């Protein structure tokens, strides 16, 4: 079967694919298929994830009716295709939950991770360590070949560091400090990040659902 990730973001694709490894699952993304996603206008992460997932699912239904729109891939039929969409972001308690659903474009368009980090650190200047608590949240929608939807969430808590540290990861990873590991997420190898990150935890749940469904356990 094939899992299509409803994203063009190479960082997300790599993180999710690093978790969803199974001999029966071929992971693809919108880098492989020409699907235009709508703007992220939802008030919550899950609302944005739903819109992305349903957009791709509807595209596949169109393909079933008119096959030339989407090339067949190595024996993969539409009836074997799953869709996985996510929306994620950073919740900072001292900022009343900001940047939230605006995490990727917090400092404006186009998306600039370094500029986002600089803005966030500036807003937290002078805020003591104990009040810099934050949470990474990843909401996912998994759609099976029959259109059944599964809602998934992954969450990791930590705090915002005083400055950037680490060259790995992307987004807010260089300033998201993990007290139990004494480092930022950006200082972790990708293999370690996948085990504890919000996106990694959510992707693991998605994999479990797919495997159980295929094995007839659901």
Each residue of 155-201: pLDDT tens digit? 999 999 999 999 998 999 999 999 999 999 999 998 899 899 999 99
Low-confidence stretches of the chain (pLDDT < 50) are 67-76
User: Distance between CA atoms of 102 and 108, rounded to whole angstroms?
Assistant: 9
Residue 48's pLDDT is what? 97
Residue 64's pLDDT is what? 60
Phi-psi region of 96 (alpha: psi -120 to 50; beta: other; left: phi over 0): left
Q: What angle do CA 31, 148, 25 make, to 5 degrees?
A: 45
Q: What angle do CA 167, 3, 155 make, to 5 degrees?
A: 50
The pTM of the whole model exceeds 0.85:
yes
Domain count, the chain: 1
Residue 61's pLDDT is what? 84
CB of 203 closer than 8 Å to CB of 16: yes
Residue 79's pLDDT is what? 59
Active-site residue, from 86, 87, 144, 173: 87
Residue 89's pLDDT is what? 97
Residue 173's pLDDT is what? 97
Residue 78's pLDDT is what? 53
User: Distance between CA atoms of 57 and 50, rounded to whole angstroms?
Assistant: 10
* Domain span including residue 64: 2-214
Q: Identify whether 86 is a catalytic site residue.
A: no
| CATH at residue 144 | 3.90.950.10
């Amino acid at each position: 079967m094939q899992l299509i990730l409803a994203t063009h973001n190479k960082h997300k694709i790599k993180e999710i694919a690093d978790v969803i490894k199974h001999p029966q699952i071929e992971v693809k993304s919108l880098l492989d298929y020409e699907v235009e996603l709508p703007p992220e206008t939802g008030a919550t992460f899950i609302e944005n994830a739903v819109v992305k997932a349903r957009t791709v699912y509807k595209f596949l239904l169109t393909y079933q009716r008119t096959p030339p729109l989407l090339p067949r891939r190595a024996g993969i039929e539409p009836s074997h295709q799953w869709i996985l969409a996510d929306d994620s972001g950073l919740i900072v308690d001292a900022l009343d939950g900001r940047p939230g659903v605006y995490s990727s474009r917090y400092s404006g368009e186009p998306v600039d991770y370094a500029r986002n980090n600089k803005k966030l650190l500036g807003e937290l200047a002078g805020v003591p360590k104990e009040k810099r608590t934050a949470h990474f949240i990843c909401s996912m929608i998994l759609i099976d070949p029959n259109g059944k939807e599964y809602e998934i969430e992954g969450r990791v808590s930590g705090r915002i560091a005083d400055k950037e540290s680490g060259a790995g990861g992307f987004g807010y990873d260089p300033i998201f400090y993990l007290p139990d590991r004494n480092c930022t997420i950006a200082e972790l190898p990708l293999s370690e990040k996948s085990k504890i990150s919000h996106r990694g935890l959510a992707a693991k749940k998605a994999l479990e659902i797919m495997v159980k469904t295929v094995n007839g356990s659901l």
